[in-house]
Amino acid sequence: MAYVAVKGGEQAIQNAEALLAALRRGDPAVPELSLVQIKEQLQLAVNRVMAEGSLYDPDLAALAIKQAWGDLVEAAFLLRAYRTTLPRLYYSQPLNTTDMQVQRRISAIFKEAPGGQQLGPTFDYVHRLLDFKLAAEDNQYAVPQSPVAAPSIAPPRVLNTLARESLIQPPETATPTTTASGPTGSDAPYDITRQPLETPVDRDARLQNLARADEGFLLSMAYSTQRGYGTNHPFAGEIRMGDVEVVICPDELGFEVAIADITVTEVQMVNQFKGNKDIPPQFTQGYGLTFGYNERKAMSMALMDRALQAKGLDEAIDNPAQDEEFVLYHSDNIEAQGFVQHLKLPHYIDFQAELNLIRQLRESSSSASTTAKSVAAQPSTPSPSSTDTTVAHNSPAHAEATSRPDKLI
């Protein structure tokens, strides 16, 4: 597609931006929404923007939400654009989610999961009824009190129970050597922020793509696998949300340093697998990890991770959720909204060309129709061959032949 730059009215554009700013602010009599309010009271929106913007910074995510007038896709775009301006000073070590300080941890496959179940904050058990008490502006909610406990110890992995019996797909154990200047060795992960995404790709690139993919797209695709458009019959092996340390190892120090704690949501889904010629029957797993508390996104990511393993497990690829190229190239809402919304920009020359083409086709079609109608309207005349036959049949010789059978030979 050819793009033609068109310079429009500069003053009109400035007025449009000023009107946007005024509407975004709303009624001046209402106190302005602060970034702290957005960060503290709209945390799930902040978490989604950080995940899809691929940058963990609650303050910047809150600013992006405010600037985008509450449009989370636009806010993720703003955050992703800002991310491109940041220098990459260090590469962190792989996150050790096994040592997560969990705030929520559940398993749907074992009632007595090792380490116990911890419900944490969740909508799972609340009634979907509007709570009009929230309309008041002086609501005070206290955190439930619990007995003082010993320093928490990270619970063991639920799937280790299956791993001890070799009943589940073994994890990929290849961990690259990571220095301050980046991962090294043949096991260095693919970096979709610095390398073009060209399918087929390895699982590490797929997971990076899914981690910053649009939540709605992933949710719909994951739902399709459960409705029969895929081979998934999933179980939630373990869902955990909590804080993990970000660790770097500066070359000038020579030892690891924890620089931050971030909140993440991690999901391990379990799926039945009947085996093939190389792999015995066992459970396989899908993996999901997102910034912040974003359980729905992490679960959808895990389901899609498993669906995209179809080729490696010699499963038939018959559905969109199993098509790597389809999923990875259509899951990024930044690219998707850009290409869809560019249709609002001037396409005057393109449309004029198509308009002229349609007019030419209409003229050609009209001419052909007129010609066909004129031909159909002309009276039909007998052909010479039929006339000759008629004359011959009316001749005296013919009459004589028909009256005398012996003359027919």
Q: Is residue 391 part of a domain?
A: no
Task: Provide, rounded to the nearest whole percent, the portion of the chain with pLDDT above 70.
Answer: 85
Q: What is the mean pLDDT of residues 236-258?
A: 93
**3 state DSSP class of 334:** helix
Which pLDDT score is estimated for 150?
A: 53
Whether pLDDT at 384 is above 60: no
Q: Which of 344, 367, 400 is where one domain is finished?
A: 344
Which pLDDT score is estimated for 405?
A: 46
Which pLDDT score is estimated for 312?
A: 87
Residues 236, 118 within the same domain: yes
Total domains in the chain come to 2
Residues 77, 106 within the same domain: no
Give the list of residues 6+ apart from residue 152 with CB closer than 8 angstroms, or none: 101, 102
Which pLDDT score is estimated for 40?
A: 95
Which pLDDT score is estimated for 369?
A: 77
Q: Which of 299, 314, 344 is where one domain is finished?
A: 344
Whether pLDDT at 25 is above 70: yes
Which pLDDT score is estimated for 382?
A: 60
Q: How confident is the model at residue 32 (pLDDT cuts 50, 70, 90)?
A: very high
State which residues form the domain around 229.
Answer: 97-123+152-344
Count Cβ atoms below 10 Å from residue 225 Cβ, excluding itself: 24
Q: Which of the pair, 158 or 10, is modelled with greater confidence? A: 158
Which pLDDT score is estimated for 380?
A: 63
Which pLDDT score is estimated for 354?
A: 95
Task: Provide, rounded to the nearest whole percent, the portion of the chain with pLDDT above 90.
Answer: 57
d(CA 122, CA 294): 11
Q: Is residue 373 part of a domain?
A: no
* 41-55, 168-182, 254-268, 362-376: least confidently modelled range: 168-182
Which pLDDT score is estimated for 394?
A: 52
Residues 68, 114 within the same domain: no
Residues 78, 113 within the same domain: no
Q: Which of 344, 363, 397 is where one domain is finished?
A: 344
Q: Is the pTM of this model over 0.85?
A: no
Whether pLDDT at 266 is above 60: yes
Q: pLDDT tens across 160-173, in order?
A: 889 888 888 887 76
Residues 30, 116 within the same domain: no
Residues 61, 110 within the same domain: no
* 2-6, 79-83, 127-131, 252-256: least confidently modelled range: 2-6
Q: Is residue 130 part of a domain?
A: no
Q: Which of the pair, 391 or 36, is modelled with greater confidence? A: 36
Q: Is residue 386 part of a domain?
A: no
Which two structure tokens, joined as six digits, stand for 105?
Answer: 């941890």
Whether pLDDT at 183 is above 80: no
Q: How confident is the model at residue 179 (pLDDT cuts 50, 70, 90)?
A: low
Q: How many helices (H) and strands (E) does the chain have?
A: 14, 6
Residues 241, 110 within the same domain: yes
Q: Is residue 38 part of a domain?
A: yes
Asked if residue 223 lies in contact with residue 234, where contact means CB atoms within 8 angstroms, the answer is no
Nearest CA-CA partner of 52 in 68, 70, 75: 75
Residues 179, 320 within the same domain: yes
Greatest mean pLDDT among 65-69, 113-117, 307-311, 375-379 lies in 65-69
Which pLDDT score is estimated for 3?
A: 42
User: Across the chain, what does the average pLDDT equal?
Assistant: 86
Q: How confident is the model at residue 261 (pLDDT cuts 50, 70, 90)?
A: very high
Q: How confident is the model at residue 392 (pLDDT cuts 50, 70, 90)?
A: very low
Whether pLDDT at 58 is above 70: yes
Which pLDDT score is estimated for 177?
A: 63
Q: What is the mean pLDDT of residues 316-336?
A: 94
Q: How confident is the model at residue 333 (pLDDT cuts 50, 70, 90)?
A: very high
Q: Is residue 193 part of a domain?
A: yes
Q: pLDDT tens across 185-213, in order?
A: 667 788 898 888 888 999 999 999 999 99
Burial 268-307 (b: 16+ CB within 10 A, else e): bbbbebeeeeeeeebbbbbbbbbbbbbbbbbbbbbbbbbb
Residues 222, 337 within the same domain: yes
User: How big is the CA angle at 276 (ends 219 and 162), to the nearest 5 degrees?
Assistant: 65
**3 state DSSP class of 306:** helix
Residues 255, 302 within the same domain: yes
